[in-house]
């Protein structure tokens, strides 16, 4: 039996799922090819002139890595000619990227973080690409920021690539979560996990502990109980992992459970949090919910948030259902 490649999976998904159109199938294939190109660029590391700073800042005022800019360009170049997109938006660009007039436009909006965790690049730790697909509201001409400001429940597709020991593509089309592994010999993604599920309970949490003194009381209480272990109110010991690449932490949670937290704190309160809603929290929330987990800000379901700005930040608490619900209960309490 030949392995099921991404191409075959998408053809079969188009046959049985009316929500999967030929254009959506094409979009996912194009994004997967761009992720393959990014994986190759990253894999060169110090052998090519791709590490270190780009000498520029992005809209967030963060210094861009060369590979942030390279990855963004790869995704733009791969997607702008195909006729499947109305426009694109990215963490690395101030506003929407219009499809050049020489190409046809399509019905979808593609929003992405081209290289998530790029601060880990220079120390050879896993990074990734996160993407979200929305339908473009009716209307001709240039696509403004407003067209993108749709709640996460409107996403038709979400996924992320992890550039780690192996290159993986995690994908949901709204009917469960699949994982594909890049076969570098043949150059195609192969279906390796048909139905990723997050266990309802876990003994593992992920948070940047160095921020502890800035957290709000509900998070202080929740993490304090985990650290108290079996002699504390939880009556069991917990383990901690923090890769500082969301794609790596979320993939681990999809594989063995866990709770990931980047809560708002006294330093980030005026910005709304650290992680971005449109191209980090929303796609990850769709994937986590599709795998049986939960994703909230602590106070509301992430997918229900009505965005007000393209680069809006939100608190993120996601993963194993019973732990996320406990954190939310502490926020309500
Ligand atoms: P910190 C990477 O910069 C990122 O956006 C996420 O991928 C990651 O989870 C988080 O920020 C890491 O943040 O403050 O621990 O460096």
pLDDT at 65: 83
Domain count, the chain: 2
Instruction: Clarify whether residues 13 and 158 are in a common domain.
Output: yes
User: Is residue 281 within 8 Å of residue 296, measured between CB atoms?
Assistant: no
Q: Residue 249 CA: which ligand 1 atom is closest?
A: 9
In a domain, 213, yes or no: yes
pLDDT at 118: 85
Which protein residue has the closest C-alpha to ligand 1 atom 16?
244
The yes-or-no verdict on residue 140 having pLDDT over 70 is: no
In a domain, 260, yes or no: yes
pLDDT at 42: 94
Task: Over range 269-279, report the average pLDDT.
Answer: 97
Instruction: Clarify whether residues 145 and 227 are in a common domain.
Output: no
Kindly give, in sequence order, each residue whose CB lies less than 8 Å from that of residue 264, ignoring residues fewer than 6 positions away: 216, 272, 273, 297, 298, 315
In a domain, 199, yes or no: no
Instruction: Clarify whether residues 167 and 222 are in a common domain.
Output: no
Instruction: Clarify whether residues 94 and 173 are in a common domain.
Output: yes
Task: Over range 50-56, report the average pLDDT.
Answer: 84
Instruction: Clarify whether residues 11 and 138 are in a common domain.
Output: yes
- Look at residues 144, 167, 193 and tell me which one is the last residue of a structural domain: 193
Average pLDDT, the chain: 96
In a domain, 198, yes or no: no
Distance 243 CA to ligand 1 centre (A): 8
In a domain, 29, yes or no: yes
- Look at residues 133, 160, 193 and tell me which one is the last residue of a structural domain: 193
- Look at residues 133, 164, 193 and tell me which one is the last residue of a structural domain: 193
Structure tokens at 319: 């993963």
Task: Over range 267-288, report the average pLDDT.
Answer: 98
Distance 246 CA to ligand 1 centre (A): 6
- Which is higher by pLDDT, 201 or 118? 201
Instruction: Clarify whether residues 163 and 308 are in a common domain.
Output: no
For the segment 65-104, what is each residue's pLDDT rounded down to a tens digit? 888 999 999 999 999 999 999 999 999 999 999 999 999 9
Domain of residue 292 covers 204-332
For the segment 311-323, what is each residue's pLDDT rounded down to a tens digit? 999 999 999 999 9
In a domain, 157, yes or no: yes
Task: Over range 107-132, report the average pLDDT.
Answer: 95
Instruction: Clarify whether residues 75 and 107 are in a common domain.
Output: yes
User: Is residue 228 within 8 Å of residue 236, measured between CB atoms?
Assistant: no
- Looking up residue 77, the CATH number of its domain turns out to be 3.30.540.10
Instruction: Clarify whether residues 177 and 298 are in a common domain.
Output: no
Mutual orientation of helices 282-290 and 246-256 as an angle, nearest 10°? Answer: 10
Instruction: Clarify whether residues 142 and 259 are in a common domain.
Output: no
In a domain, 299, yes or no: yes
Instruction: Clarify whether residues 309 and 219 are in a common domain.
Output: yes
- Looking up residue 250, the CATH number of its domain turns out to be 3.40.190.80
The yes-or-no verdict on residue 293 having pLDDT over 90 is: yes
The yes-or-no verdict on residue 139 having pLDDT over 80 is: no
Question: CB within 6 Å of ligand 1 — which residues?
Answer: 116-117, 119, 208, 244-246, 275
pLDDT at 129: 98
Task: Over range 223-252, report the average pLDDT.
Answer: 98
Distance 116 CA to ligand 1 centre (A): 8
Which protein residue has the closest C-alpha to ligand 1 atom 13?
244
Please state the φ and ψ torsions of residue 265, each to the nearest 5 degrees: -140, -175
Instruction: Clarify whether residues 208 and 100 are in a common domain.
Output: no
pLDDT band at 60; cut points 50, 70, 90: confident
Which protein residue has the closest C-alpha to ligand 1 atom 14?
208
For the segment 193-212, what is each residue's pLDDT rounded down to a tens digit? 999 999 999 999 999 999 99
In a domain, 93, yes or no: yes
pLDDT at 252: 98
Which protein residue has the closest C-alpha to ligand 1 atom 1?
244
The yes-or-no verdict on residue 111 having pLDDT over 90 is: yes
Q: What distance in Å separates the CA atoms of residue 33 and residue 39, rounded to the nearest whole number?
A: 10
Instruction: Clarify whether residues 98 and 120 are in a common domain.
Output: yes
Residue 298's region, left for phi above 0, alpha for psi from -120 to 50, else beta, is left
């Amino acid at each position: 039996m030949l392995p099921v490649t991404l191409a075959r999976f998408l053809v079969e998904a188009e046959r049985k799922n009316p929500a999967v159109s030929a254009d959506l199938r094409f979009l996912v294939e194009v994004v997967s090819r761009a992720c393959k190109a990014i994986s190759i660029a990253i894999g060169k590391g110090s052998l090519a002139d791709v590490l270190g700073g780009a000498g520029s800042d992005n809209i967030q005022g963060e210094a861009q890595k060369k590979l942030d800019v390279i990855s963004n360009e790869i995704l733009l170049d791969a997607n702008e000619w195909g006729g499947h997109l109305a426009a694109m938006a990215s963490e690395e660009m101030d506003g929407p990227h219009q499809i050049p007039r020489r190409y046809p436009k399509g019905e979808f909006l593609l929003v992405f973080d081209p290289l998530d965790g790029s601060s880990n690049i220079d120390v050879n730790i896993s990074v990734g690409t996160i993407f979200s697909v929305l339908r473009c509201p009716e209307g001709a001409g240039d696509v403004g920021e407003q067209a993108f400001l749709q709640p996460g429940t409107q996403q038709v597709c979400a996924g992320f690539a992890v550039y780690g020991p192996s290159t993986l593509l995690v994908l949901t089309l709204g009917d469960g979560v699949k994982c594909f592994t890049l076969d570098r010999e043949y150059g195609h993604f192969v279906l390796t996990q048909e139905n990723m599920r997050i266990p309802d309970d876990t003994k593992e949490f992920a948070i940047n502990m160095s921020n502890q003194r800035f957290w709000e009381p509900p998070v202080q209480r929740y993490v304090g109980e985990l650290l108290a272990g079996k002699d504390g109110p939880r009556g069991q010991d917990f383990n901690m992992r923090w890769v500082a690449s969301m794609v790596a932490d979320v993939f681990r949670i999809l594989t063995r459970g866990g709770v990931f937290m980047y809560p708002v704190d006294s330093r980030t309160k005026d910005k709304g949090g650290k992680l971005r809603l449109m191209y980090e929290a929303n796609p990850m929330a769709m994937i986590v919910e599709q795998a049986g987990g939960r994703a909230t800000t602590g106070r509301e379901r992430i997918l229900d948030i009505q965005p007000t700005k393209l680069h809006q930040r939100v608190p993120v608490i996601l993963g194993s259902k019973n732990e996320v619900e406990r954190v939310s209960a502490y926020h309500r309490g």
